[in-house]
Amino acid sequence: MPEIVTYTRKGQKKSFLSLILEKKLNKKSLIFELNHFSDSETNLQFFDSNKVLNKEVLLVWQFFYDSKEQINSQLFDLLFVVLSLKEFGVVSISVLLPYLPYLRQEDSDVGLDIGLVKPFLQILKKSGIGEITAVEIHDRAIVDILPIKIKEIKIAEFWASHIKNSIKNYKDIILASPDKGGRFRVDEVAKLLGLETAYVKKERFGADQTRVLSLDGNVENKTVFLLDDILDTAGTAINACNMLLENGAKSVFGGFTHGIFSGDACKKIEKSGFTEIFVTNTVFFDITDSKKIISVLIDDFLVQNLVLE
């Protein structure tokens, strides 16, 4: 059984995910205290180095939404923790990383852009990570060719249960994908619930820049649930929502696994045609003043579906 290692920031408690995992494995997690100097340098304190010597470690790490501390900065903190664990003599490091960045950059799809997922994962591998468990892989076709072992926690059942319990008259709704790449995700949930589907066709012409082209499916006078893995700037989601409403949808709800909320995404959602959007907490976010953004806890589901070898 691996030692559980996690981190806290000044003034914060352990994550709910860590607490649930502790209960499942019947053992306490070891804690890195992570802070930053005023110039943004990382500062770590760890008082249990003797407890990880010659041990296997499961590192629990969740990113958080913060306009001042972006994902790349948080990745640097992750690398420092992993390298510190190697210095303390751990045998192996697996990481439970609900949101794994860069997976949408599997190849070049805009001009001369370079697909950075492989270089990114090579950095994680060389730091000492042997295996990553992540939620909802953006493109499952690339998993077998990546430089590090990745286990996916699929959440079609989670979304099916959420829709069934949260959307009135759910059997009458249409499940929709905002692009071709997400069709498999929608099909899986639709199969579980016995629902019809629709797909928005889009094209990308720059990083964070897309335009919708057409709609495949009939949504007239229907409630639509738009399902996708990542909500970043919200541009793709809102463009798809507009397309659905223009084609006669009665109302549009959204479901997103990873909420990044870059830039003014929250403000755009509030002004959008969405009735409500549901976002899981694979990425921490604390948006309390929104009338449309609803946090959906996924911690129990993740721990129940976590496979430890």
Q: Report DSSP letters for 24-74, one per residue.
A: HHTSPPEEEEEEE-TT--EEEEES-GGGTTT-EEEEE---B--SSS-HHHH
| Whole-number pLDDT of residue 65 | 76
**CA–CA dist 268, 263 (Å, integer):** 10
d(CA 177, CA 192): 16
Q: How many CA atoms lie within 13 A of 85 on its CB side?
A: 31
Q: How far apart are CA 252 and CA 219, in angstroms?
A: 10
CATH of 156-298, one of 3.30.360.10, 3.40.50.970, 3.40.50.80, 3.40.50.2020: 3.40.50.2020
Hey, do 3-155 and 156-298 end up sharing a CATH topology, with the first three levels equal?
A: yes
pLDDT at 167: 92
- Please count the residues of the chain: 309
Nearest to 64, CA basis, from 17, 127, 4: 17
- Is the CB of residue 58 less than 8 Å from the CB of residue 28? no
pLDDT score recorded for residue 114: 52
Q: Residues 301, 289, 207, CA angle at the centre, nearest 5°?
A: 70
Q: Which two tokens stand for residue 142?
A: 């690339």
Residues 117 and 142: their CA atoms lie apart, in Å, by 10
Closest by CA to 34, choosing from 86, 69, 1, is: 69
| Residue 243 amino acid letter | M
Give the model's pLDDT for residue 67.
Answer: 64
Type of residue at 92: S
**Residue 121: what residue type?**
L
- 118: phi then psi, degrees, rounded to nearest 5: -65, -50
* CATH number listed for the domain at residues 3-155: 3.40.50.2020
Q: What is the pLDDT of residue 116?
A: 85
Residue (of 263, 241, 240) closest to 252 by Cα position: 241
Neighbours of 8 (CB within 10 A): 16
pLDDT confidence of residue 192 = 97
Residue with tokens 């806890």: 297
Query: Exposed (0-12), middle (13-18) or buried (19+): which is 293, by Cβ within 10 Å?
Result: buried
**Strand residue runs (E) in 154-307:** 174-177, 196-206, 209-216, 223-231, 251-259, 276-280, 293-296
- The backbone region for 169, taken as left when phi is positive above 0, alpha when psi lies in -120 to 50, beta otherwise, is left
Where in the chain are the domains?
3-155, 156-298
Q: How would you write the pLDDT of the chain (309 residues) with one tens digit per residue?
A: 899 999 998 767 788 899 999 998 899 999 999 999 999 899 999 999 999 999 999 999 998 877 677 888 999 999 999 999 999 999 999 999 999 998 888 765 544 455 788 889 999 999 999 999 999 987 777 777 788 999 999 999 999 999 999 998 999 999 999 987 789 999 999 999 999 999 998 666 555 566 666 789 999 999 999 999 999 999 989 999 999 999 999 999 999 999 999 889 999 999 999 999 999 999 988 787 889 999 999 999 999 999 876
